[in-house]
Amino acid sequence: MKHVSNQQVADHLKRLNPWWTGAGADEELAKLRPRAYLEPVHQLLLEPGLRRAVVLLGPRRVGKTILIRHLIIRLLADGVAAQRIAYVEMDHPLLHGQSLEALVRLIEEIAPEGEGTRYLFFDEIQSHKDWEKHLKPLVDHRPDLRILVSGSAAAALKRQSTESGAGRFTDFLLPPLTFSEYLDLRPEPAAIFEEEPGTYMLEDVERLNEQFVDYVNFGGYPELALSPLVRSNPARFVKSDIVDKVLLRDLPQLYGIQDIQELNALFTLLAFNTSEEVSFEQLSQCSGVSKLTIQKYIEYLEAAFLIQRVFRIDQDGKRYQRSRSFKVYLTNSAMYTGLFGVRKPDEPEFGHLVETALFAQRFHEDARLNYARWGASDYEVDWVESSLALKPVAALEIKWSDKNLGRADSLKGLIKFASKNRLPVVWATTRSQFGTTTIDGSKIRQWPAAVLAFSYGVRAVRGRLAGYEAQVKGVVEAD
């Protein structure tokens, strides 16, 4: 019986790394504008005092492999010797059964390049059994290696990294495209841009709304946002290439789920109700599945970054101890398009997709987001952000309409919550109008939803960069 030889593996690695022989980086890829998150990942990878491997997490098809390729292009442009950079697709059949240690040794034999740091990128790392156990010794005993691993089975990576990589791995969650990134990547000029940090220049709100509607329907995935061919059949791209692979392969393998149809039906129900309040009782009645099983399924879907829950608080900003209700959000509004079709801006469902799109700008942050609902009159606030001390510090009501501009009667919940918690400024969105109103001592700022989405996206990238700089500093000082 024939076995894969070291020479066959070596030849494959040479094909994956054409820059070893002077071919340079992918010229077509180099023409594509990289994602804004390239910079914080680049800084994590290069930080000499951070003796950790970077675990690049994220939903399927958000551009993890492309980001790795852009990292390689950046390293080459910075003058790193080509033979000190290696990219490995761990799911290739020739590499089945190969240990990480053996691959590192083979790479060093094929591409020797004196002393110094070597950069290793292991893509689709979930294909390697017990990858985290093999990665830890490399982190511990090879300070000359800087390693980044990534993969499509986000739930598996997250769990294995957390359980086995404490102190050795740093997770970085790559979210779906933010609205600001989407505008930056699209060929047509954006109708809004940042003049300087925190200052935005809006050129045409109607054109911006057209771009925002497009983003809500198609924008979360780079391929769906940029490829007319993929966009012509979003159902095939989203359902077949993303949702089904997670529901039919990733989660069953990781958690031993037996009834795939049951899980799929629950996810479809949750997706259809994105940005709505639901309860375990309602979901159980609609699906015929026990509440305990539904709770487990939802935890799995959150681990795979398909959905996210937001929990209910009262008018004082405190969690309900016995509440079984919560809001559910798709982490990417384009998933709704793939499952249920494109929605036009005047359709009733579009307001829920606007709220979902706004949530997509923030779900990967550490922000403590809840929603408030209380009283016999069911006063509501769509989002409340809390401090570390669990005190409300910000509140937002999301509307896809200009009818509420300056109208206290349409923002009663927001006004009562602001007054009760002494919030000097709260926010509400509109469709295309700006306004500021002061009621009961609280200033209500109203911005178009698209402008706020752009602002959130810009701040998210900047915040991640600052956050990881602080994290690196803290780890280095602790060491």
Q: Are strands 379-386 and 368-374 parallel, antiparallel or unpaired?
A: antiparallel
Amino acid 446: pLDDT = 96
Nearest-angstrom CA–CA distance, 306 and 332? 8
Amino acid 478: pLDDT = 44
Amino acid 74: pLDDT = 94
Amino acid 249: pLDDT = 81
Amino acid 19: pLDDT = 93
Amino acid 166: pLDDT = 62
Amino acid 168: pLDDT = 84
Coil, strand or helix at 219: coil
Maximum Cα interatomic distance, the chain, rounded to a whole number of Å: 82
Burial of 8 (0-12, 13-18, 19+ CB in 10 A): exposed
Nearest-angstrom CA–CA distance, 208 and 183? 10
Amino acid 475: pLDDT = 44
Token pair belonging to 162? 């957390």
Instruction: Outline where DSSP puts E strands in 51-168.
Output: 53-57, 85-89, 118-123, 145-150
**pTM for the full model?**
0.90
Ranges in the chain, pLDDT < 50: 471-479
Nearest-angstrom CA–CA distance, 398 and 386? 18
- Number of Cβ within 10 Å of residue 437's Cβ equals 16
Amino acid 4: pLDDT = 79
